[in-house]
Each structure stands twice: as structure tokens, then as C-alpha cells.
Chains A and B, each alone.
Chain A
């Protein structure tokens, strides 16, 4: 673990470089109302329709903490195996911007609600790293500035203003864009399991600030740059690649890295300076006097812990131990909670490995192709189970089963009834198979001769038999009959 493989190093003109990455993930808390007001958090509403007096920072308005957001932060902390701080403090982060009505963001600076934790990240079936969590804190989102609605004016939409975010800060434990991407994917999976963030990156529910520095392997940490607000996993990977290359180029040309905040431009595939360290804001953090310190006891935490679902790591281990799945298959089936639920329903009383195969290869393959989620799958867990039952009891062959899957996918229906109605049962009657074999041998004496010299010719005979039986002959039975008739 955490032995970062040599192949992750980046080759430069002066030798190999190691990239060091830490991520700050801003995850929108799943909650009906905002962190300090009763306004709705619903996405996509008309501008400025989900804005309370508090969100608009009218004179004399006061924030009141939304307890559900606190619970969500604790649940997330537990899911990250992190320390839960029974006392935390909200601070004001002061800066001026039109989409920040209060003139400060309420955040947690010195005393966050969640402390250190860790995330296990699978890079391949054999490679896993552990990424440390530094902290998680609650804070308000800002509104949205719109600069393209008119020529001279900017507009502000405050619907997002005050929505609860969890800022999840990792330790600088990642050494490649692949690791960073895998970490974000895993974190997203955990958040979705815990139902504390929907992980919807297109809607901005999950954004990342990416800290990147480079160094010679094993050397001192380099100066880091922060790439702000990257909003897809793919872009996170790309931003790291181009930023690492940029930094290596500068250092190898004899320059040095300036600590600064940068933006990633996917269109040009480059990062651009946003502001230097000198231009960095002085946020003048201080404890928000409108809010008392947030305090709760262990019993409060325990109740929330008891309500958490089985998390992906535990579920994966159980799938391997209970169902005998390979770690890879188990890993795929726990990526989404719905995958595991679907699998377990289909696997009940059946050959779990065969079910896993069918779910992963046929169903997921097809869903991916159609761009559909499992919740929209036209094939239910019971139907997949029915198909697997027919295979297990030798009623149909694997090949026929694929045809059957297609029928169920597009037309629906009970797999068993479809097989009956459409005569898809495989032929196991040895008399019928023998007749077919005899016919083929009789028609192809030359091939029979060849087969005697070259036993791999058997495959050709099997194919011919399957053809004449419409694919319904049991392949095993065909093999046996052929071997005996050809004297192989």
C-alpha cells in the first residue's frame, strides 16, 4: 500500500519527476433547505426564487443552523472513518463579491466538525492506496454571477447562496492523475452511499480545488499551485497532467514555481494564473458571533452511525467472502449502492458468480451502451435471475441466453415463458444430436479425414452441428458425440 509505482513518475529532461497532489472537494450537502435558512436547495429553479431574507443578507437577519446539514456532515465523517469533533465553531470568511450578499461566507476555520480520516482507493485489482483525510467542514455556497445577460450589467442569482457545502480536504497523498481520479470516484461513491451528497458533477454538486506540486522522487516537497473549481473527474486528471508538465518545464528551465491560484481551461488544455500569493485575499477569519459553537455528544453520533448503510469497502469484502466473487467483480458491484442491491436480489439462491458475470458483462455493458442508469434498466433483477436459472439447469446455452437477454431487454416478459414459447430450449436429446452429427460426417468425408490428423478441426464440426440445430444443441453433448463418432 502507498508504494507509488515507478511507472507513475513523469519523465523530464533532467530525469524523473514525482507529482504530489492534494484535493479539496466541495460537496453539496443533500438537504431540503439551506445551511442557515429555510429556503429550498432545489436545482434549476428560476433565478432568485429560492432566496430567503437571510440568504439576501437583509439588515438584521440572523443565521440559524439547519440540523439536517449537521447530521449529514457527521454521517459523511463516519463514512470516511474520520474523527467527529463534538465541538466545532463557525467562522466568518470576509471578502467582497456581488454573489456573496453578507460580505462574508460562514465556514469553519479553526475547529471543523470532522477531523482526520481515510479513504481506501482501488487503482486496479491488485493495487490499492490509502488517501488521508485532513478535515471536513461545513460552509455556505455563494450565489452565481452572470456576466453575459446584458452588455453593461452583471446579474446575480442567489438561489445557491447559502446552500450547505462540505469541504473535504485530503492529505497530499496522491502521486498521479490516475490516483487523484480514482480518489474522487471513490469519495463520490462513499458520499452517494451515505446519501449525503448526490455527487452530480454536471450540476456542480461536487467540485474540486486541486493542489499540485512536483519534486524529484523522495526529495523535498515543491511549491504548490492550487487549481480552482474543476468540475469533472476527467478535467481533474487533465488539469493535473498539464499543471505538472508546466511546473516541470519551469523548473527544468532553471525557473521556480510561484505559489498561486490557477484556473484550468479545458478548451485550451492549459492552466492560467488567477491570482498570485501577494494578491491572495486576507479573509480576516473570526468566530461568527451570531452562532454559538456547535456541540453534540457521542450518543448523537452513535444514532447517526447506526443509521448508515453498509459502505462500499465492507460490502465488497462481504461479496468476496459470501458469494466467492473475485475482488474485481465485487469492486464493480459496489460502485453504486443500486448495483449491489440489484446483484444481491438477482443472486438470491443462485450461482452468484454466474449472476455477477451476467450483471456486469451483459447488463452493465448494455446499460453503458445505451447511456442508461441501473434504475432505468428494462431488465429486472428477477429477469436476470430467470435467465441465469435457465442456463444453470441446462435449458438454454450461454449463446441462446444472450439472445434471450436481447428479447427480455427489448420486449420484456418472463424468460422461462419466452424460451418455451419460442422453442429456444437447447437439444440435449442424444438421438437428435447423433442424427445431425451423422449427417454432417456423411456430407464431409474430406473434413473427417483432416480432423483425424488435426483434432482442432473438431471446432468446425461443432459449428456445423450448431448451425443445423439452430444453436439449440447442447454444446457439451455435441462435443462428446462428435469425439466418439470421429474416433478422436
Chain B
């Protein structure tokens, strides 16, 4: 039998329906792959028994030609999603050992449709990071390796991006058919770009946030990472939907996204924002972008240069709004009701010891920034101004769409993936710059899809980003598939991780 982990999610689904193999076989193949790939550190918790029990139940349904859209398909779940009876940590020491008594709405939707859970995927602590180096449970290692100028593969450990680094690496390394992820400033799209996978952050409100550990509530969105555009479309359909428990969730039917995969993009108007052509942009990234434009034009789309004048303010404004909300959202981790507790001589001492030990450096930094920008005397200068900028950024997009633009094409990241320890150790802003092309999308609440489009000179994948109109994810899937079809196949190196 061929290696079942080599299948795409759509192929595995069709294979199960055709009874070419069983979900137990498919699941076991993934469990084995996960067990061999410990050095990638993708999973914080593996749940093979639960997975096999779910697979068995799925096989019973499949035998009767029953079951949901994801029946019997093994997935990885980012450890930011609360899972009933399975430890949920958000990558933080402060939640180590925390076992929720409830299941997030998005994962509930996945189990409803028959998916199988392989385990909980590693991430940057509280989803704060762009390299998965801030996780209390250690960094995730990308299956990708850099090629030296001499053509030799380096054994330097490459980061899988972040915060959904466990998700992107696990999908890239075939340790699951697809994974859930979350995106606050680029945490789905940047890791997808770094690992040659497909990731979509849907429109704010498309997926329920209920049961997902909050980072920045007005920016957080759930979405999938998968190996193809079609797989991402299949997953998003199951994940999305209105939820009365999240009043910011959107009350409208979820389209069958898979139908838009392969649909013609003829006549679609694609905006190319000139402000994204940053000073000092690498020739490699600029060329990739131009190539993307050429592919879409060849597919029949109309290309139009547009202006999104407030783009350059997006990153600084994001690093005010997101930490502000985070400083408040993370106040509940106080050692009183659950998670880590360090006793102290009085209540203030208990808080200080618990939070100093429970939170890592980057989380502490963002709590400090957020507390500062919300403080009396600074609120107007920072938080309020950042919110005004946010309104202007959203208006930039509104105007472009009102002028007839259907979607916007940009690079996904300013560079390919880097090695562990290479960025941000002396200056955190160096790390924050990873989000320069992605944060605008969160600030405006729009959908954004990243699709692999090429390779860097050092042999690492590069992605392009498509930004859509609110709740028009279908357009992104059509355009994304057009790029996917046109782009050269991204071939992952042979397994070196087991």
C-alpha cells in the first residue's frame, strides 16, 4: 500500500468513500508518522487513542455510506483551541496541565463533520510570535532545510513561522492531512508561506472565537492550514459558521467553498498596491510578486495598480491594538482558579510570582506594552490614535473594492524562513517586521489567503497573499487555485526527521 500520509485531504476523503482504505489505516499511518517525527516538536500532546476511536467510529459510518464532510480524516489542532478532556496550553507554562471541560465551537464543528484528532499542535506562547520560538514547550522545527550556495543542504534548524508553527510544520511534514490555526496579525499566513503550505485567514466573524484562547479579540480569527487550496476550502467550510456564543460571529450561511476551487477567474480585477513595494524589498520577493501578476493575467484576470495609502502605519498601529487587548485578555491567568500558581506572602505577591514565572519573555513584553498604551495619559496618544489608523486602513481597502477591485495580490512575507535564533533576539521589531504584509488584513477584518508560489535562492518556499472583500473567500479560493496551478510544484526535501 502507498504511504497514506502522502495523500491530500481531498484524495484521502475520496479514497475513504471509495473504500480504498479505512480511516483506521489512514489514521494509524499518521500516528506512526507523528511518532517518528518527534524532533520537529510539532505536537505538544498526541492523542492516538482518541484518534483511533474516532477513526473506528468513522469507519462504521463510512461502511454505511454515511458520515460528514470530513469523515475519518485525521487533523492536527492548534493548542490554542480548547478541547474537552485534552490538555490545552496556548504554548504557555501558565496553562500547563489545564484540561478544559468544554470544546471550542470550531473543533466541535470539525468533530460534527467526522474529523479525527491526532493531537494538539505547538505554537508561539499565546500565539505571540512569528517563528514558534516563544513556545514554553520548545521551538518547532520546519521540515524544510536551507540550501547553501554550494548546493549543499544545511542542517541549520529552520523556523516554521508563527504563531501557527506546529500547524504549518505538521502539514508540510505530512503529520496530519490538515490543521487548524489562528491568525491575529499573520499567524496562519506567514507560517503557510514559510512551509510551502496553503493558509487562509477568513473574514473576521466567519469562524466562532468561542473556546479559542484569546490573544487580541478584535483581530483573532480561526482558519485552516492545508497542503492544497482545495483542502483549505474543504476545511474552512466545516470550521466556519455562526455561533450565538460569539456575538462577533457572522450570521449567514457558509458557502460550499470547494465549488469555487477551479472556477474561472476571467475578468476578475486584481489590485496591486504600490505601497507594498517596500524600500529594500528583496529582488527575489519582487520577482515572485511579478510572477504572480503574470500568472493571474494569463488566467484572464485584469491587473490594476491601486493605492492603499495608510499601509505604512499598519504595523505600528497593530503593535498597539494587539498588545492592548492582550494585556486585558491575559489578566485572567492569575493563578487563582486554574493553571500555574506560585504562592506568595499576599495576593499581590501571588500574582507577581505566578505571572512572572508563568509567562515567557515575549508575552510579558506585550502585556507591558499593552498596559502602557491603555494607561491614563497615554490612551489618547496611543490606543485611540491606533484605532483611528485602523479605520483609515479599512477605508483604504473599502475604496479599492468600491472602485471594482475583486482581490488584492501581495507578497506573503518580506523574506523566506530563517533559522532558529537568527531574528529578533536583540531587537524584537526585527521579528515584528515579518507581519508587514499580513497585519493590514487583520486590522481591516478582511479574508487573506496565502498560497505557495516559488522557491527562494536558498531552497525555501515562498508564498503570495490574496486579500479579498469581506466574506468573499470564494474569490480567494478561485484565484489561489489559479496560482497553485500555474506555479511550479514545491517539492519538500526527503524526510530527514524520521
Contacts and interface: CB of A to CB of B under 8 A. Distances in A.
Interface of A: 53, 56-65, 92, 94, 96-98, 101-104, 154, 156, 282, 284-286, 289-292
Closest 10 CB pairs of A and B: A103-B331, A289-B218, A284-B374, A289-B217, A57-B332, A60-B211, A59-B213, A60-B82, A282-B376, A98-B336
A65 B210 contact: no
Contacts of B247: 62-65, 290-292
Contacts, number: 99
B206 to A, nearest CB: 16
A60 B104 contact: yes
A56 B333 CA distance: 11
Contact of B347 (A64, A98, A284): A98
A56 B101 CA distance: 12
B245 interface: yes
B216 A103 contact: no
Contacts of B95: 59
Interface string B226-250: 0000000000000000001111100
Given A65-B247, A291-B247, A104 B213 contact: no
A62 B244 CA distance: 10
Contacts of A291: 247-248
Contacts of B347: 97-98, 154
A284 B211 CA distance: 25
B374 A292 contact: no
B306 to A, nearest CB: 29
A189 B383 CA distance: 42
Nearest to B212: A60
B385 to A, nearest CB: 13
Interface in B323-339: 324-325, 327-328, 330-332, 334, 336-338
A289 B375 contact: no
Interface of A is mostly: loop
Given A290-B248, A292-B248, A60 B328 contact: no
B100 interface: yes
Contact of A284 (B88, B330, B351, B375): B375
Interface of B: 81-82, 88, 90, 95, 98, 100-102, 104, 209-214, 216-218, 244-248, 324-325, 327-328, 330-332, 334, 336-338, 347, 351, 371, 374-376, 379, 383
A94 B328 contact: yes
In this complex, the member of A53, A92, A289 whose beta carbon has the largest number of chain B beta carbons within 10 angstroms is A289
A60 to B, nearest CB: 4
B338 A58 contact: yes
Contacts of B336: 98, 101, 156
Contacts of B325: 286, 289
Contact of B331 (A58, A60, A98, A102): A102
B367 to A, nearest CB: 11
Given A56-B337, A102-B332, A284-B328, A62 B245 contact: yes
A154 B343 CA distance: 12
Contacts of A92: 328
Given A57-B337, A60-B209, A62-B246, A290 B328 contact: no
Contacts of B217: 289-290
Given A61-B211, A286-B383, 6 more contacts: A60-B210, A60-B211, A61-B210, A94-B374, A98-B334, A156-B336
A396 to B, nearest CB: 65
Given A103-B328, A286-B328, A59 B216 contact: no
A321 B330 CA distance: 61
A63 B246 CA distance: 8
